[in-house]
Structure 1
Amino acid sequence: MTATGKWIEHWDPEDETFWRETGEKVARRNLLFSVLSEHIGFSIWTLWSVLVLFMGPEYGLTPADKFLLTSMVTLVGAVVRVPYTFAVAIFGGRNWTIVSASLLLIPTIAAFVVMKPGTSFDTFLWIGLLAGIGGGNFASSMTNINAFFPLRKKGWALGLNAGGGNIGVPVIQLIALAIIGASGGPRVLLGIYIPLILIAATLAALFMDNLTSVKNDTGAAKDAARDWHTWIMAFLYIGTFGSFIGYAFAFGQVLQVQFGRTPLQAAYLTFIGPLLGSLIRPVGGWLADRYGGAKITLWNFVAMAAATAILVVASMQKSLPLFVTVFIVLFVLSGLGNGSTYKMIPGIFQTKALAKGLTGDEAAAYGRRLSGASMGLIGAVGALGGVGINLAFRQSFLSYGSGTGAFVTFLAFYGLCFAVTWAVYLRRPTAQAQAKASASETKPQLSYAEV
């Protein structure tokens, strides 16, 4: 490993000797501080899912206003993931982690200033939109960490990186629970996070590294955008991460609007699902490493559909214990699927490299380049699922007075995700198709069953 300042010029994690002697230690250090920054980013992104619990009748907002507010925050978080992915290639992973962490001060301080009764809904909406930048930290962090780890470790590393970030959702909800329980106000919550943001940016500056092999390869994103697998995986990620972040924003509001829970009662329950869903994400990556991401993802969508069907029943019967229990199960399944779908991405592009006839370092470089670039696009589109979930809940409550209509829509979508996963990555070609391919192709045939 050759290092110049905070830039590492030679990085070859697929070389087992290099990995054992120097690479693993450096990769784990960067992973640790990347997780910290991404964790704070997730907390700020989902800040308004917590702040709306503080906003009682004196704020003058309807349930529809609150769902619209959280939808727009989610939308910004999805959109900024694309430029945040490019930023790693332009500025370097360490450098961008410092900048992206520091930018979180803007929405946090702005919310601190305006968070009081009498502030207009439009003001809350604009300040909420600023919080969306926290959603971008995930994309840059995943792209950066993907480059540090060898293919055989990516499922675990990416799962841990994402899970550590995702856990920022329940952490901010737990802190909010403590503040509400102590009769504190939302400004106390915001005041806690301002110094934490400064700490994350400082630690990134002191202990993280840039990789020269990643810098200035913005063309990789264009190549990834042209590959249809990028968009298929983005669709599947809507079903997993889109569900996770959408439910994280909406769960507390559903409990308040449909089941009449007070802010404190809702806060006691909202953190459990995101917490378990975050903790299980590395397990999803580990299972994908061992059994194949496509297989885990397929059966995970079956389980998500089954859980959603039970939620429809619980919603219709207005059974709070069943509703909360199954909603938490759905959070866990979304976290599991997050890990397995992200593990599929490097495996797919590595398989394509081998099918192109590439071998060794050349194949590994091809896979790292496209998988890293595609992660930002996939993460951005996947996060749009959170927008769809909040808008679906908003419309369902406006039309039917409950979330039942939204859950029926989610059930149909999970069925579609199952069908796409099977058709693209697990369906075995017929004997006739195999014979035709063998006669016309000299390159190895692509099989994604083990990705």
Structure 2
Amino acid sequence: MSTTVMHEGPKLQFGRGRWIDNWNPENEAQWQSKGKGIARRNLAWSMFAEFLGFAMLAVWGMVVPRLLDVGFQYTVNQMFWLIAMPGLFGAFMRFAYTFAPPRFGGRNWTIASALLLLIPATGLAWAVTNPDTPYWLMLTIATTAGLGAGNFTSSMVNISFFYPEREKGFALGLNAAGGNLGTAWVQFTIPIVIITGAGLALDRAGLMFIPLIILAAMGAYFFMNNLSSAQSDSKALLMSTADKNTWIMSFLYIGTFGSFIGYANSFATLMRLEFPEVTTNYVFLGALIGATIRPLGGWMSDRYGGARMTLVCFAVMIFGCGGVIWVLFQDQPSFPLFLTMFLILFAAAGFGNGTTYRMIPAIFRAQVTDRQTGKVDPTGLVRARRLAGGCIGIAGAIGSLGAFIIPRVFGTFGIKGGFIVFIVAYIVMIITLWFFYERRGSALSFARV
């Protein structure tokens, strides 16, 4: 009779500043004894900071449609610039924040990135109290909300170091969904907190963040850890730029995640412009549906293939856009139908977030898989995983440009014209997806990526 003995290997060492040495989540003994509890604790507080970051990115989408009610005189185009600029700045922050956790420590950077959110929070609280605030200054303050987008990337990078490969997908999926819910939370909360007996108090949209930001920073300070073993793979990021699939997936991710965050940030303003008699209390439903359906997209992709499910996603989004256009062209547009079509758009975009994220590792794995035998080259698999990681970083940053692109399309072409542009874009994405990944005879069609 034999027994299996799990060897923990080098013991975990806990140093000053909550640094941990000898972290190895792949070691089963270490993982079961202490690692799992440490990882879950770090995930919880990292999710909270990321949640606030996503909420900050979306806050101007809720504030802008109420600016006219408190005396600001902005054109529709100016309003969409205020909504768009956090997305543009946020895309750059996602690149910059990728390298921060390994360099400074995940705990340390979570503290710093949380406290940085005080800049857009206090700036918003101050700027909206005075209708004479110069537009250029208002635009600058709105832009700083893009700091919140960086929190998502640094959180995902940090948590990836804490979990073993077999549990990393679930942990990162949970982390991403938790962050996305920040958008729904801020859209649900702001219409409630800004209402006072005397009218509107838009400054509360910024002030409500301050105690939560301090709580996130304190939670990270007392309960999170830094890992000495965490290392950034900047070379993989550079290597992935040479692979055409990185750019194809970045383009497609604009259509899924970019649509989700762009529509979420624009939804309240679109409602006020088209249905001024309707309150914005329903806005949060779109982001809530999009965030909660994301795991289903990943699960369905595992079952039927990510490319195939992404095709379905874009087809449904075309239907949703066409439905919105049809509603708006009616003599008396129906708000319930408008809301229904928009919720279909959010559901499809959230579903597509899961399908495209699943496609990326599958694509790079397929490149090192023998087409005839289905065997995977072990050496090539290591490189494929690195390339997939680099691709995810680049695609995530480029995809988040949707938060800038979609409001600017509405500001330039109007609401109906904007949705026509999006239909054309989704058709191009369907053709691209089919040509490279689903077309019979294409290089990766055999792998059902």
What TM-score comes out, normalization by structure 2 length? 0.86
2:386 is the counterpart of 1:387: no
Q: Secondary structure at the match of 1:90?
A: helix
Residue in 1 that maps onto 2:320: 307
SS in structure 1 of the partner of residue 419 of structure 2: helix
Q: Give the SS at the match of 1:59.
A: coil
Q: Which amino acid aligns with 1:76?
A: F
User: How many Å apart are 1:134 and its aligned residue?
Assistant: 0.8
Contact 1:295 1:426 (C-alpha < 8 Å) held by counterparts = yes
Give yes or no for contact 1:75–1:387 (8 Å, CA) kept in 2: yes
> After superposition, where does 1:214-233 map in structure 2 within 5 Å?
214-233=230-249
CA distance in 2, matches of 1:176, 1:95: 30
Q: Is 1:374 aligned to 2:391, yes or no?
A: yes
RMSD of aligned Cα (Å): 2.6
Give 1:407's aligned amino acid: F
Residue 194, structure 1, aligned to residue 178, structure 2: no
- Determine if the alignment matches structure 1 residue 407 to structure 2 residue 436: no
Q: Which amino acid aligns with 1:449?
A: R
Task: State yes or no: 1:296 paired with 2:309.
Answer: yes
- Cα gap change, 1:143/1:295 in structure 2, threshold over 3 Å: closer, same or farther? farther
Structure 2 residues without counterparts, runs of 5 or longer = 1-10
What residue number does 2:432 align with? Answer: 420
SS across alignment from 2:355? helix
Give the fraction of aligned pairs with identical amino acids, expressed as a percent.
40
Determine the structure 1 residue equivalent to 2:183: 169
Contact 1:158–1:339 (CA<8 Å) still a contact in 2?
no
Match of 1:89 among 85, 89, 102: 102
Partners of 1:11 and 1:425 in 2: how far apart?
36
TM-fit CA distance, 1:11: 2.4
Answer whether contact 2:111 2:221 (CA < 8 A) is retained. yes
Match of 2:4 in 1: none
Shift in alpha-carbon separation, 1:195–1:307, aligned structure 2, 3 A: same
2:58 paired residue among 14, 34, 46: 46
In the superposition, relative to structure 1, how do residues 8 and 296 fare at CA in structure 2: closer, same or farther (>3 Å)? farther
Structure 1 unaligned runs (5+)? 398-402, 434-444
User: Partner residue of 1:61?
Assistant: 74
Out of 228, 235, 241, the residue aligned to residue 257 of structure 2 is 241
Secondary structure of the residue aligned to 1:412 is: helix
Distance 1:323 1:154, change over 3 A: farther
How far apart, CA to CA, are the structure 2 residues paired with 1:331 and 1:152? 30
Q: Structure 1 residues 353 and 215, CA, compared in 2 at 3 Å: closer, same or farther?
A: farther
Measured in 2, the distance between the counterparts of 1:149 and 1:366 equals: 20
Is 2:281 the counterpart of 1:268?
yes
CA–CA separation in structure 1 for the residues paired with 2:229 and 2:368: 18
User: Would the aligned equivalents of 2:102 and 2:230 in 1 still touch at CA under 8 Å?
Assistant: yes
Q: Which of the residues 42, 45, 48 maps onto 1:33?
A: 45
Deviation string 1:34-62 (CA, Å, 9 cap, x unpaired) is 21111000111111111113312511112
Number of aligned residues: 426
The residue number in structure 2 matching 1:442 is none
Distance in 2 (alpha carbons) for counterparts of 1:324 and 1:164: 24
Aligned to 2:5: none
Between the aligned partners of 1:410 and 1:323, the Cα distance in structure 2 is 17
Deviation at 1:319, TM superposition (A): 2.8
One of 172, 184, 202 as aligned partner of 1:158: 172
Match for residue 113 of structure 2 among 95, 100, 108: 100
TM-score if structure 1 supplies the norm length? Answer: 0.86
Read off the aligned partner of 1:205 and give its amino acid letter: Y
* More helix, by proportion: 1
Deviation at 1:365, TM superposition (A): 5.0
* SS of aligned partner of 1:186: coil
Which whole-Å CA distance do the structure 1 matches of 2:297 and 2:263 have between them?
A: 19
Offset of 1:179 from its aligned partner? 2.0
User: Which residue is 1:436 aligned to?
Assistant: none
3-state SS, counterpart of residue 11 of structure 1: coil
CA positional deviation for 1:413: 1.3
Measure how far apart 1:352 and its partner are. Answer: 4.1
Letter in 2 for 1:225: T
